[in-house]
Structure 1
Amino acid sequence: MNLTHFEPARTLPRLLLDRARTEPDDVALRHWRDGVVQAITWRSYADHVRDLALGLVAQGVRRGDRVAVMSGARPEWAFAALAVQSVGGIVIGVYPTNSPTEIEQLLTHSEAVAFIGETATELDKAAAIAAQTPTLRLVIGIDATPPALPKPIKATTWKALCEEGAQRADDGPDVLDELVARGSLDDPAVLFYTSGSTGAPKGVTHSHRTLQHSIQTVIGLYPEIQEREYDVVGFLPLAHVAPAVISVFAPLLTRLVVTYCRIDDYQHVLRSARPTALLWPPRFYEKTAGELIARTKTWPRLRRYAYDAAMWVGRRVADNRWSHRKSSIPLRIAYAAALRGVFLPLRATAGMDRIRLAYTASAAMPESVLEIWQIWGLDLRENYGLTETGACPIAHFDQPFPRPGTIGRKFPDPRFQVKVADDGEMLIRAPLLFNGYWRDPEETAAVLQDGWLHTGDLVEYTSHDDIRIIGRKKDVIITRGGKTISPQPIENRLKESVLINDAIVVGEARKYLTVLLEPNTTAAAPSAEAQSEHLRAEIDRVNADLARAEQLKDFRVLPRPLQTERGERTANGKIKRNAVVKSFATLIDEMYDTNDDAAIAHHVRSRLD
C-alpha cells in the first residue's frame, strides 16, 4: 500500500471475504481463554460472519439499522461488527462498564434495533431498561441466555442465531456476497460514542472509507505489518475507537494478528504471546514500568549493581538521543551489553522483550514514563488521535526515540493537514475525519468547519517542528483574578511522581489553585503524616517551575479512588472534572476556608440574624 496515494476500493466486509478467498487457511486472529489459545483462520472468520449476518437478516435486521455490542475484547465482537456491516447496518460499541442508564441513553439516541451482550451481567443491564428503548426488537446473548424481556422484544442466543443463519446459507454459496455487494464505501460503518468527559456522549459516525484511512495511519506507525506478521494482544474495550481500529479493522488490510483476551488475563497473555506491537494508553505503560522497577528491588545485590550500572549507561545514551548527539563507540558497546544482559531480560518478565517500537495515545503520558521505557530500549512514542479522527493523523512516524513531551508531526500524506488557529487551537483536515455526529448537525457544525476539525487542543510547535499539546481550549481554569490556566500540564507534572496516580487541579473562580490527589496505593507511605509530607514535597517540586498564578497553594488526598460508577471517570478511564469537583465539593472548600464568597455570606447572615 502506498501511504501517500492510498484510496479505499472495497468495504470492510468485502476485504474480509477477499482474504478468506485468497488466504483461507492463514491465521486471522487468536483467542486466549482459560489458558488455551484458539487460532481462527480467515475461512472460519468469514463463515462465522456469514452465519451471524444471515441470522440477523432472518430476525429482521435491515440496511441502515443499528446494532449495539456490549462485550469485552473477544472474536465475537469482530464477528458481530463485520456481520452487521455485511447486512448494511451500523455497529455500536457499548462499554462493559456502562450503567443501565448509560446503555438506555445510547440505545435510545442511536435508535438501535438489536443488542448483543456477552454475559448475564450485560444482558441483565439491557433487560432493566429495555422497556424504555422504543426501537429495540432483539436481544442476543453470547455466553448466556437473555432474561425475560417486555414484548415485543425477542430474546435469543448467539448459537441459536448463527444456527438459523447457517440454514439460510444452504440456499446458495453467494448469499453473503450478494448482501455485501450492496454496500458502499461511504455507508456508515460504526458509531463510536465519545467518553462524555466534557458533556453528553455523542455518536461519532465513521464510514468504511474513513476507517480505512485510519488504518492507513496505523500502517504508517508499523510499515512492516504489510509484509510480515505482527502480533498484538487485544484486551482493551473495543467500544473505544483506537482498540477497534487496531484490533478489529486493521488486520483486514495488514498482517497484524490479534490475540484477544479478557482484561484480567492480559499480563499472563503478554508473557505467553510476547507480542511485537503495542499501542496502549499511558496508564498501562506506567503500571507495567512500576511493577518492573519493584521487581529490580528484589534482585540479589550483584544483580542490582548491574542494573544500576546499566541505568547509568542507558541514561547517557537517552540524553544523547534527545539532544541529537551521537554516542561514542564505547558508550554504544556498553549500552548494547546493558540491553542484552539487563534490560531485555527485565522486559521479558512482562512479555515485552520482542517489542522494539511502541506507541501511546488517548491521554498525556508523564515524561518520566516515556524516559524509563526508552532507557530500557523500547522506542516508545506518543501519537495523537481523537474519536473524530479514527486513528492518528499526528505521530512520531519516522522519529526514533523522540524526546518526551511532543506528539510528533502530521501523517506524511499531502491530504493530511494541520494548522494552528490564532487562539492556539489545533485544526486538522484529513480523509480519516468522521462523517459527523449521529443526527446532531449543530454539534457537527460546531467542530467541523470548512472541512477542518476543531480539535479543542491548544498546541505549539517546538524548535524541531514537532507539535506539543499545552492544554485544552475548554478545559481551562479562570481564577478570581482573571488568569486563564490550563490545568493539564500541571497535573501531568504531578503524575510523574511514583506517589501520585491522578491529580485534579481546581480553582475555577477562586483566588488561587489547589489540587486533589489520588495516591498510588502501591507506593504507600508508612503513615498518613509521612504520606502528607511526601506529597507536599512533590507539590513543592512542581511549584518551583510554575508562575505564581499557576502554583498550587494546598492539596487534599481523595478518601477513595475515582469511580466510573459515580460518573467521576469515563468508561475508558478519563477524569470527568466537573463530576469530581461536585463529588468532593466539601473537601475542596476546606482548602478555601477563607475565600471571599464564604466570608461575605457568613458576614451577611450574621448581620441579618
Structure 2
Amino acid sequence: MDANNLVEMLSQTVERYPDKEALIWKQSSGYTGMTYREFWNTIRNVASGLHRLGVKPDDKVAILSDSNQIWAISDFAIASLGAISVPVYPTLPSNQVSYVLNNGDCTVVIAEDDEQLQKVKDGNANVQHSIVMKPASGFTSTDNVSSFSSLEEDGAYHPLKDWEEQWRAIKGDRLMTIIHTSGTTGAPKGVMLTHDNFLSQMKAIQFWVMELKAEDIHLSYLPLSHVFERMAGHFMPLMAGTTIAYAESIDTIQDNLQEVKPTIMTSVPRLFEKVYAKVVDQIESGSPMKRKIFNWAIDVGKERYDYYLNTPVHELVLKPMPKKLQSQVARADRLVYQKIKERLGGRMRGMVVGGGSLNPDIAKFFWSLDIPILEGYGLTETSPVVTTNPMTRAKIGTTGKPIPGCRVRIASDGEVLVKGLNVMQGYYKNKEATDKDIVDGWLHTGDIGAFDEEGYLKIIDRKKRILVLSTGKNVAPAPIESAINESRYIEFGAVVGDGRKYVAALVTPDMENLLPWAKQQGIQTESRVELCARDDVQQLLMDEVARHTNAYADYERPKKVVTIGDEWTVDSGELTPKLSLRMKNIEEKYREHIEKAYDEASISAKEVAAGTQ
C-alpha cells in the first residue's frame, strides 16, 4: 500500500476489486450489499451533497449512529472533502451527546434515526444542519434537517467536479478525525488523529498480526465510534478488499454468525467470556463420557499450542507436528472442535480482541479449540494499536510485542510509555492535557505494564486503579474482575478496597443463567431485585466469586461480596460505551453498600467464610 491518505487507500482497493462486495447488511429479506464500485460512487455523491450544504475543509461533521453501511460511506465522504469526522456513541444520553458535539465544534451531524436526532435537539447542541439516515415515515425536510437519501440524490445531480483533485491533495499529516475518550476519570477529551496515524498502523499490522485477504468476510458488531473497530474492523478490511458484514445488534450475534459465516472478527473480552461460560455449562451438565471426551480434546489442543509456541519458527517448516499429535488433533477436531466452531459460523480463522484484558484461561481454551484469539494493547491516543500478538507466535497472557514503528518503554513507576507514528496530535482544544500526557514525544498511557523475558508486554491495570490496601499490599483489580466474570451467574464484577484492610467485590447477576437456576431451586419469582435480595442467591454468587478467584493470593481475593440488584448499562452510567466499568460512578452510586461491606459488625461469619474459603 502506497497511499497519502485514507481516501486514496480506498481508491486503490476499488481499482483492484471493483465488482467485489464491499459491505453487506441485514434487511427483512436477508443480507444485501454493495460492491466496491457502488461504495465508491455513493461516497462521491454524499461528498458532493455535503459540499452543497457548505461543508468545507477542516469543518467538523459528527456521526451519531450504530455501525452500518451509511456510517462507512459518511466517514469517507467527510474525509474526502478534507473535513473532520467526530464519531459519537449512539448509546450516550442527550447531555453527553451535546458535550461531544459542542466540544468538537461540529457544524453538521449525521444521525441514525429520529431517536438520535432528538438527542441533538434535546441537548441544545450548536449544529447548523442535521442529516437523518433512517427518517420515520412522513418525514419532511426543513432548512436545517434533511434525509440522507435526499443528500445523496442532491450530490448525484450536482457532482463536485474537482472531487478527485481535492482528496488527492490531502496530506497524511492532515487531521482526519476527533474521537472522544470514554470519560472514565473525567470529562471526555477529543483525541486528534491524522490520516498518517491510521496508515502507519495498517502498514505495520497487515503482515504482523494476520494477513487479511480479499476472500475474507469480517463480521462487524462493535461500534465504529470506537477507535478499535474503526481501525481493525473498518480501515483494515477495506484496505485488503475484504467484505464487511454488519451485525444487526449485539443481541443478534449468534444468528448473524450463522448467516454470514465470517472468517475474521474483532471483539471485546465480554463476548468470549459469555461463549466460554455457556460451553462449560453445557459440558458440565452433560454425561461423564461427554465430559471426558471434551477434556481430552482440550488437552490435545493445549499440547498443539505449546508445540507451536515452543518450536522456533524456522524449525516448524522442517519439523512438522509429530504424527501422533497430528492424529490426535484430527480426531479431536471431528469430535469436539468442529461442533464449537459451528457456533461461530464454521469458517472462523482468527479473532482479534481489544478494549480490555482477556482472562488467559479463556484465551487458552479457544486456542485449544483451534480458534486463534489475538490479543493486543492500545488506546484511542495511539490510533489504537501499540502491541499485538502475531498469529505465528501468539503468547497467551500477554498483549504481544510492539508493532513496527512503535517504541514502548516502562517508566520507573511501571507506567507504559509510547512513541511512534501512531501517537495522536494531541487533545482538541486542551493543550494542558496534551502537555501532561505527551512529554518529550513519549505518550504517558496511564497503564501499568511489564515486559517478560521474551519481550512480550503484559498490562497489569490502569495506574489510577491499582488498589493500595491499608496493609501496604498492592492489588490490580482488572485480572480479578476478569476471573469473576467467568462465572455464568455473574454479568459484571467490580473490585474495590483502596485504603481498606481487604478487597471486596460488587457483582450484578447474569439473569439469562440465574433464572433457570432459580427455577430448579423452586424459586417462583423472576424479579431481578427480589432474586438479588434472597440469601440463597447471595450465597450462590459469593461461592462463585470464591471459586473463580481461588488461584489468587489471599489478600487479592474478595472477603465480602455485595450483590447489586440494578442492571448496569451505559445509560444508567455504570458502563462506558465499550462496556468498561465506570468505577467513579459505581463507587459513588453504591457508597452505602460499600461502607456497609467494610463495617466489621455487619459481616457475618458465614459471609467472611464465603469470601475466603
Q: Please classify the TM superposition score into its range, dividing by the shorter chain length.
A: 0.7 to 0.9
Matching residue of 1:213:
200
Q: Match of 2:241?
A: 255
Segment drifting more, 432-441 vs 216-225: 216-225
Aligned 8 A contact 2:496 2:505 in 1: yes
CA contact (8 A) 2:109 2:129 kept: yes
Aligned length: 578
1:577 aligned partner: 583
2:556 maps to 550
Is residue 224 of structure 2 the alignment partner of residue 231 of structure 1? no
Match of 1:508 in 2: 498
Per-residue CA distance 1:174-210 (angstroms, 9 max, x = gap): 4321332342221111111111122211111111111
Query: Equivalent residue for 1:123?
Result: 117
In the alignment, is the contact (CA less than 8 A) between 1:58 and 1:165 conserved in 2?
A: yes
In the alignment, the residues of structure 1 paired with residue 308 and residue 389 of structure 2 have an alpha-carbon distance, to the nearest angstrom, of 14
Q: CA deviation at 1:148?
A: 10
Q: Give how far 1:312 is off.
A: 4.6
Say if 1:549 and 1:292 are closer, same or farther in 2 by CA, change over 3 A: closer
Per-residue deviation, residues 273-301 of structure 1 (Å, max 9, x unmatched): 21111221111122233334455578788
Q: Secondary structure at the match of 1:588?
A: helix
Q: Tell me if structure 2 keeps the 8 A contact 1:447–1:455.
A: yes
**Cα deviation code 1:13-60 (max 9, x no counterpart):** 223334434543232222222342223122211111111111111111
- State the 1:394 CA deviation: 0.6
| Structure 1 residues 491-530: aligned runs within 5 Å | 491-524=481-514, 525-526=517-518, 528-530=534-536
Distance change >3 Å, CA 148–CA 441, structure 1 → 2:
farther
Is 1:369 matched with 2:357?
Answer: no
Which residue, out of 146, 153, 158, partners 1:163?
153
Cα drift, residue 370 of structure 1: 1.0
Contact 2:374 2:389 in 1 (8 A): yes
Q: Cα gap change, 1:539/1:27 in structure 2, threshold over 3 Å: closer, same or farther?
A: closer
> How much does 1:459 deviate?
1.1
Correspondent of 1:486 among 476, 480, 501: 476
Moved more, 341-350 or 547-556: 547-556
2:605 is matched with: none
Provide the residue aligned with 1:190 in structure 2.
Answer: 177
| 1:428 positional shift | 1.3
CA contact (8 A) 1:124 1:147 kept: no
Q: Secondary structure at the match of 2:222?
A: coil
TM-aligned CA deviation for residue 329 of structure 1: 3.5
1:178 to 165, 170, 173: 165
Out of 573, 582, 586, which is 2:592 matched to?
A: 586
Matched, 1:448 2:438: yes
Q: How many Å apart are 1:228 and its aligned residue?
A: 4.0
2:455 is aligned with 1:465? yes
Contact 1:214/1:389 (8 A) holds in 2:
no
CA offset at residue 367 of structure 1? 2.1
* Structure 1 residues 511 and 70: CA distance shift in structure 2, 3 A: same
Correspondence 1:559 to 2:565 = yes
CA contact (8 A) 2:220 2:266 kept: no
Aligned residues of 1:31 and 1:74 also touching (Cα < 8 A): yes
Percent identity over the alignment is: 26
Taking structure 1 as the reference length, the TM-score comes to: 0.87
Q: Which amino acid in structure 2 is aligned with residue 230 of structure 1?
A: D
Deviation at 1:399, TM superposition (A): 4.2
* Counterpart Cα distance in 2 of 1:311 and 1:474: 37
- Alignment counterpart, residue 270 of structure 2, candidates 258, 283, 305: 283
**Counterpart in 1 of 2:401?**
409
Unaligned ranges ≥5, structure 2: 313-319, 522-533, 603-613
**Map of 2:5 onto structure 1:** 11
Provide the rounded CA distance (Å) in 2 between the counterparts of 1:322 and 1:123.
Answer: 51
Task: Identify if the C-alpha distance between structure 1 residues 320 and 519 changes in structure 2 by more than 3 Å, giving closer, same or farther.
Answer: farther
Cα distance change of structure 1 residues 322 and 296 upon mapping to structure 2, 3 Å threshold: same
Give the secondary-structure state (helix, strand or coil) at the position aligned to 2:61: strand
Instruction: Tell me the C-alpha RMSD between the 2 structures.
Output: 2.9
Counterpart Cα distance in 1 of 2:204 and 2:215: 18
Looking at structure 1, the residues matched to 499 and 600 of structure 2 have their Cα atoms a distance apart, in angstroms, of 14
Partner of 1:347: 341
Other structure's SS at 1:220 match: coil
Q: 3-state DSSP class of the match of 1:91? A: strand
Match status 1:109 vs 2:100:
no
Map of 1:78 onto structure 2 = 72
Q: Distance in 2 between matches of 1:176 and 1:107?
A: 27
Alignment of 1:257-276 (within 5 A): 257-263=243-249, 264-276=251-263
Q: Aligned pair in 2 of structure 1 residues 548, 370: CA closer, same or farther (>3 Å)?
A: closer
| Distance in 1 between residues matched to 2:214 and 2:36, nearest whole Å | 16
Give the secondary-structure state (helix, strand or coil) at the position aligned to 1:224: coil
Letter in 2 for 1:291: K
User: Is the Cα–Cα contact under 8 Å of residues 220 and 265 in structure 2 kept in the other structure?
Assistant: no
- Please point out which of 204, 216, 230 is paired with 2:191: 204
**Cα distance in structure 1, aligned partners of 2:265 and 2:408:** 26
What residue number does 2:422 align with? 432
Name the CA distance, whole Å, in 2 between partners of 1:297 and 1:485. 32
Write the distance in 1 (CA, Å) between the matches of 2:442 and 2:331: 49
Tell me the alpha carbon deviations over residues 443-500 of structure 1, each in whole angstroms, 9 at most, x when there is no partner: 1111111221111111122233321112221112233455443222322333333343
Whole-Å separation in 2 of the counterparts to 1:309 and 1:481:
43
- Of 381-390 and 549-558, deviating more is 549-558
Secondary structure at 2:278 match in 1: helix
Indicate if the aligned counterparts of 1:214 and 1:432 stay in contact, CA closer than 8 A: yes
Structure 1 CA distance, aligned partners of 2:379 and 2:385? 8
Cα deviation digits, residues 303-347 of structure 1 (max 9, x gap): 666435433533554566667699754233112211133211321
CA distance in 1, matches of 2:237, 2:483: 36
**Distance change (3 Å), C-alpha of 1:295 and 1:33:** farther
Structure 1 match to 2:131: 140
